[in-house]
């Protein structure tokens, strides 16, 4: 073996020639019935460990098992503070399918703030999108009542307390039937299929950060 080959073997063996693994930010379309954690919790819900993520990544924030949509994972811990601390007012957009059709007064009340578990929610944006989002049916399907109409509303929040969206819509008399997070910062879920993930490009990272 010649000298360059020996030097390359030495560098490989002791790690002198190894480059640090690049940090990553991952966008995942979390399906219904999937936990925002890698370990099982004893329920029928599936953990993140079943989706083949790279090692050493962890979820940034969470979506409840019965919620769907955009979940970010990373091996960079600074994303937690950047995306989750309320002082940064980082936007998150939710598509919420609710029972009955909220009127303008209902939506205004959501936008101003409602009382949830003893505290007022922060001001947000709330609107009835036209046209309505075209979202594929969920498996299992939502609760259906023949004589009760439903619709999608959009909420843009800068906070994310436990089950907050569901409690907000319940407080105005419109229970949530289905909940999907469609955007974090400027990063949208787009056409990423349920159960699939992708490593974000530098442009995608800027969008997620809201830069």
Q: Which residues form the catalytic set?
A: 64
Distances (CA, A) of 46 to 34, 38, 129, 153: 5, 9, 32, 28
C-alpha to C-alpha distance for 72 and 53, rounded to whole angstroms: 12
176-184 vs 119-120, strand pairing mode: unpaired
Given a contact cutoff of 8 angstroms between Cβ atoms, the answer to whether 126 and 107 are in contact is yes
Tokens for 181?
Answer: 């997070």
**Given CA atoms 65, 38, 82, 70 in this order, what sign does their dihedral have?**
negative
DSSP bridge pairs for 26: 73, 199
Count CA atoms within 13 Å of residue 64 on its CB side: 13
Q: Tell me which residue of 117, 94, 114, 95 sits closest to 105, measured CA to CA.
A: 114
């Amino acid at each position: 073996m010649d000298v360059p080959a020996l030097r390359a073997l030495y560098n490989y063996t002791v790690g002198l020639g190894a480059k640090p693994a690049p940090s990553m930010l991952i966008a995942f379309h979390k399906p219904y019935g999937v936990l925002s954690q890698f370990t099982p919790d004893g329920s029928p819900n599936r953990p993140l460990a079943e989706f083949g993520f790279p090692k050493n990544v962890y979820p940034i924030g969470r979506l409840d098992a019965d919620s769907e949509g955009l979940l970010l994972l990373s091996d960079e811990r600074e994303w937690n503070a950047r995306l989750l601390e309320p002082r940064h007012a980082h936007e998150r957009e939710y598509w919420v399918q609710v029972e009955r059709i909220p009127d303008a007064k209902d939506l205004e009340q959501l936008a101003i703030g409602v009382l949830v578990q003893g505290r007022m929610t922060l001001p947000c944006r709330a609107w009835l999108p036209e046209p309505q989002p075209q979202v594929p049916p969920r498996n299992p399907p939502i609760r259906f009542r023949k004589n009760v109409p439903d619709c999608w509303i959009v909420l843009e929040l800068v906070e994310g307390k436990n089950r907050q969206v569901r409690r907000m819509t319940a407080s105005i008399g419109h229970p949530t039937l289905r909940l999907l997070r469609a955007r974090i910062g400027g990063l949208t879920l787009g056409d990423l299929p349920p159960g699939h993930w992708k490593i974000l490009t530098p442009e995608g990272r800027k969008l997620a950060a809201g830069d």
